[in-house]
Structure 1
Amino acid sequence: MKACGICGADLHFYKGDHANIPYGFCLGHEGSGEIVEVGAGVINVKSGDRVCIEPQVGQYSGLITHFYKHKADKVHKINDHVTYEEAAFVEPLAVGLNGVRRGEIGKTGRKNVIIIGAGPIGAVSILCSKAEGAKWVGTCDLLEARLQAAKKIGADATLLTKPSMTSDEVAAALQTLHPVGESVDVIIDAVGITSTLNTAFKLQTTRSPRRAYYGPHYPDAARMVNDGVVDVKPLITHRISMDQFEEGFRLLLDGNSGAGKVIFQL
């Protein structure tokens, strides 16, 4: 293993939000590394290849480590110009890409997008929306640092919200962001809590809620990074070593740290 990002799901595990986690459970599913050995009959990769790792059901976590065994058909080669840290970002990028494609963004009549939340998943949703042909993308967040990063990667308009704002107030403020005379075609909730879902429903006149993970889009996300279709580098704010394990999680728990994506260099 060479690099692994910290996901919001990892943060919940770290905080103890999930019960019945066995002792020794290893976190991490946003990873990349170098092949050191292959099994008999493996022909798609060889020792020395640089790859990103597509998680599997039943084999999802465990990448914050030094060595990891995985199915050969679920690792994807990365080009020499792509850093291991960028390659670790393929997994969250695939989450964003799945949501964007489920929303059919970029297709006829689906050009204006609002993304609620500008954290890592909101940010990759901005990148994917633009890559898929969105004309206008707006976003909102409680943290100004996230909104500044969103502007750098293509957000056309941003809204700084406050914890005291109701869903109605956030929805009304978001309605003022998009181009005059045009409607919002797609809403992506990149937070997924009750208040943000309520905001999304108040914005959307025709409701067609869909839950998105990353489905079959991991290989496409890897190609997007390899081909330079998207640039995830601005979203990586901290690179830390394994001996700074707890510091990495503390950065993400501190709303004033300015942390975006924190990546372990393994």
Structure 2
Amino acid sequence: MTETTNQPTQAAGTTARAYGAPAADAPLHALEIPRRTIGAGDIRIDIRFCGICHSDIHFARGEWGDIPYPAVPGHEITGVVAEVGADVTGFAPGDRVGVGCMVNSCRECSSCQGGTEQYCLAGNTQTYGSVDRDGTVTYGGYSDHVVVDQDFVLRIPDGLELDVAAPLLCAGITTYSPLRHWGAGPGKQIAVVGLGGLGHMAVKLAKAMGAEVTVLSQSLRKQEDGLRLGADGYHATSDDATFEALAGRFDLIINTVSAPIDIGRFLNLVKTDGALVNVGAPPEPLPVPVFSLLMQRRTFAGSAIGSIAETQEMLDFCAEHGIAAEIELVGAEQINDAWERVLDSDVRYRFVIDTATL
């Protein structure tokens, strides 16, 4: 077991109760972490709930590169405003708010100026595992409170409960953004690969947008759930007949799986000028057969979360259409078991931590 000790210096502030990993091969346990002093434009949020994302596991176990330890993940955060800085406008103590996958960006590059700060050319500041502009390390939502710049705080609409809204801050926006960008709507055939945390949100959102939705899953084990969530069709990708029957069917395929798949087989299900978009993030490269792209002018693309404005749009859309995540609430002492169940695909469909248990 090894620990990283050369961490950036933390500025004076408060101490938060948290749950985190001291090293890549260590289980999570209770600890204390520093939070920065509230600046003029900052908001202190008392965290009520935090979703568990597969990305948390990849990060904390060092699968995406070297990171500072201890690692405190969590970027599906909902809570209540506890305190605001002197220059904060639009938020007040008691407001119901959320924080997603990023808490800052450079504000100056073409992406930030164009309203797509998730693609900040300098790299946006992630909610955990990044060094913020003031030199502090960012720690995530497996914690009792967090301090965030007002520009990266979302308002949770009254129509959404805080526990089921938490996964919308990652799983919701990660699927909403490509559905909007690639024009999901009436008359469009949309396929969703995988019915997990992201996949179940993609089904709900695409259906609410008016598209015809098909789930492509390894087996038919979750078929009843998929149809209940709004899917019009459900097919097993372990069956070769699926790829014959659905060839050239879809305008858009959203791949939510964070493991290798045969990209060529799935590209052949895409119509001429259609797109296969990856939102799952497997650590291994995915080979792409170029002729599957060339012959029908297909696109293979990726998409990562959404801007703050688009995330607020997504939250409002979900409140308007009665869309929320399907969750299983867990306490702090269950987090390690929940992680193992995520790896075993044994969750329907998102674990959410009740941070009162910290």
Distance 2:65 2:80 in 1: 33
Q: CA deviation at 1:78?
A: 1.9
Q: Which runs of 5+ in 1 are unaligned?
A: none
Based on CA coordinates, which of the two structures has the bigger radius of gyration? 2
Q: CA deviation at 1:245?
A: 2.0
Kindly indicate whether residue 115 of structure 2 is the aligned counterpart of residue 24 of structure 1: no
CA contact (8 A) 1:127 1:154 kept: yes
Q: CA deviation at 1:31?
A: 0.9
Partner residue in 2 for 1:241: 331
Q: CA deviation at 1:196?
A: 4.3
Partner residue in 2 for 1:11: 57
Partner residue in 1 for 2:297: 206
Change (3 A) 1:246 1:41: same
1:66-77 aligned at under 5 Å gives the runs: 66-77=144-155
Aligned residues: 249
Partner residue in 1 for 2:217: 141
Partner residue in 2 for 1:219: 312
1:19-168 aligned at under 5 Å gives the runs: 19-56=65-102, 57-61=124-128, 62-91=140-169, 92-106=171-185, 111-134=188-211, 136-142=212-218, 144=220, 146-162=222-238
Distance 1:123 1:173 in 2: 20
Q: Which runs of 5+ in 2 are unaligned?
A: 1-46, 103-123, 129-139, 271-295
Kindly indicate whether residue 195 of structure 2 is the aligned counterpart of residue 195 of structure 1: no
Change (3 A) 1:143 1:84: farther
TM-score (norm 2): 0.64
State the secondary structure of the residue aligned to 1:12: helix
Distance 1:258 1:25 in 2: 23
Q: Aligned AA for 1:102?
A: H
Partner residue in 1 for 2:288: none
Q: Aligned AA for 2:74?
A: G
Q: CA deviation at 1:145?
A: 5.0
Question: Residues 131-161 of structure 1: CA distance to partner in whole angstroms, max 9, x if unpaired?
Answer: 2221x21112235554332211100111234
CA contact (8 A) 1:138 1:177 kept: no
Change (3 A) 1:143 1:251: farther
Kindly indicate whether residue 323 of structure 2 is the aligned counterpart of residue 231 of structure 1: yes
Distance 2:349 2:243 in 1: 23
Q: CA deviation at 1:86?
A: 1.9
Higher RCO (CA-CA < 8 Å; seq separation 6+): 1
Change (3 A) 1:52 1:219: same
Q: CA deviation at 1:49?
A: 0.8
State the secondary structure of the residue aligned to 1:243: helix
State the secondary structure of the residue aligned to 2:145: coil
Kindly indicate whether residue 355 of structure 2 is the aligned counterpart of residue 261 of structure 1: no
Return the structure number with greater strand share. 2
CA contact (8 A) 2:220 2:234 kept: no
Deviating more after overlay: 142-151 vs 218-227: 142-151
